[in-house]
Chains A and B, each alone.
Chain A
């Protein structure tokens, strides 16, 4: 678990505030992801990045932005937080290995999560 770290682990903020969640990894993986998890729902992909110059929207990117500052760092921002963004946020990394870019079978390694509450 220490290979993928997320900061902060918990955050309470108010509606309209700008929030940044940070993810760092020491696994040397090129691929990084941001998910959110809501009670009673499955994880949903927000954004993903396959290298420093690559950013892709996931299933629910509206209201979020990301920055891939380096291979090891991937940040998620909420420009103007709203209450329905209250959720558990996970960062993940993966390595396609020999399968290359067309593979969706690479194992994802998740961080410990950030619990965000927007009042």
Chain B
């Protein structure tokens, strides 16, 4: 069964600090992995997408990495801001399927 596991479940950091969120998956055959940011009361917004051949993708202060061999991805947030407080969701799609597998998300709280 395709699964996406994220860790930690929640994280609290101080403004200005860096943090890294983890995503492990068992989706096969792998097509792509996407990170979404979901603010409270809003729909998810795509941050990055990576396919098999990509191992790093940046979007401003967000940098995602992918290790397709170990089936792991991470999302690194640099110099966190209060507006980074949100849930971060890892989503993995399989080749030939239009039904993506969503992780449960990591809830990030950034304190001043």
Contacts and interface: CB of A to CB of B under 8 A. Distances in A.
Given A90-B43, A104-B93, A110-B44, A58 B104 contact: no
Interface string B83-103: 000000100011111111111
A107 B89 contact: no
Interface string B39-74: 001111110010100000000000000000000000
B94 to A, nearest CB: 8
A118 to B, nearest CB: 20
Task: Please report whether the interface of chain A is mostly helix, strand, loop or mixed according to DSSP.
Answer: loop
B89 A42 contact: yes
A1 B99 contact: no
Contacts of B96: 102
Contact of A43 (B44, B93, B95): B44
Given A1-B42, A104-B98, A110-B43, A42 B93 contact: no
A42 B98 contact: no
Contact of B102 (A44, A56, A107): A44
Contact of B43 (A48, A58, A111): A111
Most chain A CB within 10 A, of B43, B44, B49, B94, is at B43
B9 to A, nearest CB: 9
Interface residues of A, number: 24
Given A42-B101, A56-B98, A108 B49 contact: no
A36 to B, nearest CB: 11
B31 interface: yes
Contacts of B43: 1, 4, 90, 92, 109-113
A104 B96 CA distance: 8
A40 interface: yes
A59 interface: yes
B82 to A, nearest CB: 20
Interface in A2-56: 4, 40-45, 48, 56
A104 B44 contact: no
Interface of A: 1, 4, 40-45, 48, 56, 58-59, 90, 92, 102, 104-105, 107-113
